[in-house]
């Protein structure tokens, strides 16, 4: 459903991502793994229109998105959950969730979506009137994912959902992502936590220096010798 062809981009004259080609299939979790500074987040910024210098093609359900402004992506059904759980700190949890419904205006579907989010993250319902800036890191991460779900996306792009969170919280976030995927949500997951990412995803790609160096089934990649040595710390 999401096809990326010959994507090249960066800041100014600096090319950060080079010649990226991949597909996301409907209903799967595809994870992008790689070391710090490999270009994972930059790639995600490129995929959501936030990178200014971009060449190549990004097609979503047949529509060309390369060159479209960032706010357009939400309207075609792509939600981007950014790194470091960025909530609107001075708004309440409820207001944050409603902001997610910016492009949807039907009252009924908003109420229904809120229920879906609460089912996934009951904690958010308890904190509905609390200022989002006062939530814990894990709760903020839940909120940003909840906010993304409010727009009823077809595809969610997640940037390092485990970043800076305690292991227990990471597990509950990942459980939620699994549940979403079982319900049919397509997810692109950028993650430094290689073990977690390979566990949850059906397919994975390894990025180094802005290039895809390995692509395949998560299971195969898990068993790949280099990956084992370098990223999972097993001989």
Residue ranges that bind other proteins, judged by CB under 8 A:
48-50, 69-71, 73-75, 79-82, 86-91, 95, 98-100, 102-103, 144, 147-148, 151
In the complex, what is the shortest distance from the CB of residue 159 to other proteins, in angstroms, rounded to a whole number? 10
Residues 205 and 23 sit within 8 Å (Cβ to Cβ): no
Residues 210 and 8 sit within 8 Å (Cβ to Cβ): no
User: How far is CA 207 from each of CA 5, 102, 214, rounded to the nearest angstrom?
Assistant: 16, 33, 7
Q: Which is nearer to other proteins, 10 or 198 (CB)?
A: 10
Q: Which is nearer to other proteins, 59 or 68 (CB)?
A: 68
In the complex, what is the shortest distance from the CB of residue 144 to other proteins, in angstroms, rounded to a whole number? 8
Q: How many CA atoms lie within 13 A of 151 on its CB side?
A: 24
Rounded Cα distance, 224 and 60, in Å: 31
Q: Which is nearer to other proteins, 36 or 105 (CB)?
A: 105
In the complex, what is the shortest distance from the CB of residue 134 to other proteins, in angstroms, rounded to a whole number? 14
Q: Which is nearer to other proteins, 42 or 147 (CB)?
A: 147
Report the candidate in 182, 124, 169 with the shortest Cα–Cα distance to residue 150: 124
In the complex, what is the shortest distance from the CB of residue 177 to other proteins, in angstroms, rounded to a whole number? 18
């Amino acid at each position: 459903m999401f096809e990326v062809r010959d994507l090249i981009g960066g800041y100014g004259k600096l090319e950060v991502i080079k010649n990226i080609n991949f597909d996301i299939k409907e209903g799967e979790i595809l994870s992008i793994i790689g070391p710090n500074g490999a270009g994972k987040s930059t790639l995600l910024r490129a995929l959501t229109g936030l990178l200014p210098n971009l060449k190549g093609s990004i097609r979503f359900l047949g529509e060309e998105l390369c060159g479209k402004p960032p706010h357009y992506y939400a309207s075609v059904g792509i939600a981007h959950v950014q790194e470091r759980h960025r909530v609107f700190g001075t708004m309440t949890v409820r207001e944050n969730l409603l902001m997610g419904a910016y492009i949807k205006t039907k009252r009924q579907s908003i109420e229904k979506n809120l229920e879906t989010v609460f089912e996934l993250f009951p904690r958010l319902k308890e904190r509905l009137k609390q200022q989002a800036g006062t939530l814990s890191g894990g709760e903020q991460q839940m909120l940003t994912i909840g906010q993304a779900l409010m727009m009823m996306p077809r595809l969610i792009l997640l940037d390092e959902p485990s970043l800076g969170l305690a292991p227990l919280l990471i597990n509950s976030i990942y459980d939620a992502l699994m549940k979403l995927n079982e319900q049919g949500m397509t997810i692109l997951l950028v993650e430094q936590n290689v073990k977690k990412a390979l566990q949850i995803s059906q397919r994975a790609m390894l990025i180094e220096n802005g290039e895809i160096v390995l692509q395949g089934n998560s299971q195969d990649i898990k068993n790949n010798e280099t990956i084992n040595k370098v990223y999972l710390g097993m001989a």
